[in-house]
Amino acid sequence: MSESTVRVSDRKIEQTMKTRERDTGSEDADASARPRSERAPRGERRKRETRTKLLRAAMSLMAERGLEAVAINEITEAADVGFGTFYNHFSSKEEIYTCIVNWVFEAFADALERSLDTVSDSAEIISASIRHTMNRAKEDPLWGRFLVREGMSARSMRGGAGLAGRLNRDIAQGLKIGRFKTNDSFVTFISVGATVLGAIVAELDAMADEKDAKLTEALPERTATLVLTILGIDEAEAMKIATAPLQPIQYQAAEIADY
């Protein structure tokens, strides 16, 4: 074989290797962009799928009946897995409940705080939080049902956590600086929470009936307006705040199996 032939052959090999490197790099980039559940090995994917089934089944049952009224065997039956499989993922019913609460309340509440980090007005913070929460509930009715069932429960508010805990904090901050006016902060918090959860129930129920749907038009904005008036804001100002353009929330919905 001549020297020139060898050089040509070497160049072809080099070009082939570079092409493969580019292709591999492209594949790696595509893989990193795919959801974690799609990139994981088959065994891990199956494990995550089973965990997701258990969490979604528990969430559905607890949204309807609450923690105490749901048995572990009901969760496994709804998830269509063996009873013993539950304990491969969770040590107790309380643990799976905590995972659901973290996914439903904490992750979303953290996203709200990040999105509203530059907003200083307590009224704007509460208004935007209400509207985002109601929009999220409409997008994922099961999420909304669980929020309605457990959003104001003592379990989900321990340590001032969750959406309700942070709502209580934001109301207290508004009262402290004189933005809000009320004679009883705790009853005001209960009233605000009940108003928001009641509005979510109405909107979820209306989704099944076109006639009722007309009653819930612009309900997040109407609810936010009412809440601000409960907090002592003038109605005209409350409506202006509650109907202002809503900035998109920087929320990447984590997979429930991550909790």
List the domain boundaries for the chain: 12-90, 99-258
User: Distance of alpha carbon 126 from its chain centroid, rounded?
Assistant: 17
* Angle in degrees, CA 85, 89, 94, rounded to 5: 110
- pLDDT attached to residue 22: 45
Residue type, 87: Y
Q: Could you say which of 3.40.605.10, 3.40.50.970, 2.40.128.120, 1.10.357.10 is the CATH number of the domain covering 99-258?
A: 1.10.357.10
Q: Output the CA angle 141-226-146, nearest 5 degrees.
A: 20
Copy the structure tokens of residue 212.
């009722």
| pTM (2 d.p.) | 0.73
| Residue 158 pLDDT exceeds 60 | no
Q: Is the pLDDT of residue 12 over 60?
A: no
Find how far residue 199's CA is from the centre of its chain: 18
Nearest to 117 by CA among 253, 109, 30: 109
**According to the model, what pLDDT value does residue 107 have?**
80
Q: What SS3 state is found at 67?
A: coil
The residue among 213 and 200 whose pLDDT is bigger is 200
Cα–Cα distance list, 153 to 90, 127, 165, 234 (Å)? 22, 22, 10, 30
Is the pLDDT reported for residue 135 higher than 80?
yes
Query: Which tops the pLDDT comparison, 201 or 26?
Result: 201
In the numeric block, the tokens 């001549």 are attached to: 2
Average pLDDT, the chain: 81
Checking if the pLDDT of 176 tops 60, the result is yes
Q: Among residues of the chain, what percentage have pLDDT more than 90? A: 47
Q: How does 196-212 read in b/e, with b if 16+ C-beta sit within 10 Å? A: bbebbeebbebeeeeee
182, 232 Cβ separation under 8 angstroms: yes
CATH (one of 1.10.357.10, 1.20.59.20, 1.25.40.10, 1.10.10.60) for 12-90: 1.10.10.60
